[in-house]
Amino acid sequence: MNEHPNPHVPHEPTTHSATDSSVGSLLRQLTHEVPSLMTKELALAKAELSESIRSTKAGAASVATGGVVLMGGFIVLLLAAVYGLSTVMASWLAALIVGGVVTVVGLIMVSAGKKKFEASSFKPERTMHSLNKDKDAVREHTS
C-alpha cells in the first residue's frame, strides 16, 4: 500500500540531515565525475602527443632531406668545379667557392628542420591548462 503523509501534520525541519544528504550527494557526484574527467584528460594528452609526434616526423623528414641535398651538393659541386671552372681559374679555388655555397644552403635546410625539434613542441600545453583549470575548480568547490 502506498502511504501518503498527512498534509495536516506539521513536518519537523531537517536542516542537519539535508546538509548531510547534500554533502553525500556531492561526494557521490564527485566519485562519478572524476574518472570521466581523468579519461577525458588522458584522451586530450594522447591527442597532443600524437600531434607532437607528427611534427617530429616532419622535422626528421626535413633534416633527412636537407642532409641528402647537402651530400648531393658536395658531390655535384666538386665535380662541376673541377670540370667547369678549372678553365677560368685554378681548379682548387673553383671547387672551394662552389662547395662553400652549397654547404651554406644545406646547413640552412638542416637548421630549418632542427627548429621543428624544439622541446616546447613536446609539452601538452592544452592538457596542462585543462588540468590547472580542473584543479582550480576543485579548490573553489572544496573551499
**Contact call for residues 54 and 62 (beta carbons, < 8 A):** no
**Contact call for residues 106 and 73 (beta carbons, < 8 A):** yes
> What digits encode the pLDDT tens for the residues 104-135?
888 998 888 888 777 665 667 777 777 777 77
Distance CA 63, CA 91 (A): 31
Stretches where the chain sits below pLDDT 50 are: 1, 9, 12-14
The model's pTM is 0.35
Question: pLDDT at position 120, please?
Answer: 60
Q: Which three cell numbers stand for residue 64?
A: 633527412
